[in-house]
Amino acid sequence: MAEITAALVRDLRDKTGAGMMDCKKALVESGGDMEAAIDWLRKKGLSAAAKKSGRVAAEGLVGVASGPNVAGMVEVNAETDFVARNDQFQNFVAEVAGLVLSVGDDVEKLKAATYPGTGHSVAEELTRLIATIGENMTIRRAKRLEVNEGVVATYTHNAIRPGLGKIGVLVALEGKSEIEALEQLGRQIGMHVAAARPEALDVSAVDPSALEREKAVLSEQARASGKPEAIIEKMVEGRIRKYYEEVVLLEQVWVHDGESRVKAIVKKAGGNLTGFARFQLGEGIEKPVGPDFASEVAATAGLGGPKA
């Protein structure tokens, strides 16, 4: 029997995409024979994950979890919306969201963490899930927010069960106000963030490159009016203030009343908004554009495309 080395296990994992523990077991069962180990994994359905790894996964779920003074959020993608209704997938997303509280939001560390109730890693559990459900899946991103005194409230939009949905929001509120009141305010801010899509917490947090691009565009627009440079400068300043009102959370108009500023609402409540995060499922993932339905049916039937 060949020696089961770590290098041999890694080699089998590279070939099959199966988890490390499954690869080791396959090699033990096959006496160290690589081809036999691959066949063993195939028979168990554990090597199927590798074949699915290249397919675009833009559906799935965003999961949130919270604890005292801390909350976590994760986005786990799959290929179809159907998987989001699968109990095994939902449980996986919920468990990983819970792990963010203790492990943090580094995705690689999350993958390496022990999956609750098992002796294997999150990555290996994901591989098992891929093989079982039959779709490519990925842990795309995670976020963890914490406060010294106060709450990190959570909000889930289009929730299919508590803490799981299409949009997730975390809101960090520092303050000595009553926790229940802060929780309620945090949830309202979460709803605002889900709807208004702010890009920065305050003016100082606005991406400098985005701000410069905006100034350049506004300057060119103002110059087209033919006004003097001094007037143009004031016009740009006014438009930049408007830009801040659109992208900065604390400067935005409160969606719940349509007139107050978010910063005024927070100040009135005696809190201090120190951070937020918003995950929208599949945001930024480039989805392949397939043929229209008629062309797809025609191609399947071998009839060619639709006639002009």
Strands 70-78, 164-165: pairing kind? unpaired
CATH architecture of 6-52: Orthogonal Bundle (1.10)
Interval 109-137: pLDDT, tens: 999 999 999 989 999 999 989 888 888 89
pLDDT digits (tens, 9 = 90+) for 134-185: 888 999 999 999 999 999 999 999 899 999 999 999 999 998 878 888 999 9
Write down the domain spans for the chain: 6-52, 59-204+248-280, 207-245
Q: Which of 44-48, 133-137, 249-253, 303-307 has the highest mean pLDDT?
A: 249-253
CA 133 to chain centre: 21
Put simply, whether the predicted model's pTM sits higher than 0.75 gets the answer no
CATH of 59-204+248-280, one of 3.40.50.720, 3.40.50.970, 3.20.20.210, 3.30.479.20: 3.30.479.20
Structure tokens at 242: 């408007």
242 exposed, middle or buried (CB, 10 Å; 0-12, 13-18, 19+)?
Answer: exposed
Give 224 or 14, the one with higher predicted confidence: 224
CA distance 260 to 32: 69
* pLDDT of amino acid 248: 95
* Fold exhibited by the domain 207-245: GTP Cyclohydrolase I; Chain A, domain 1 (1.10.286)
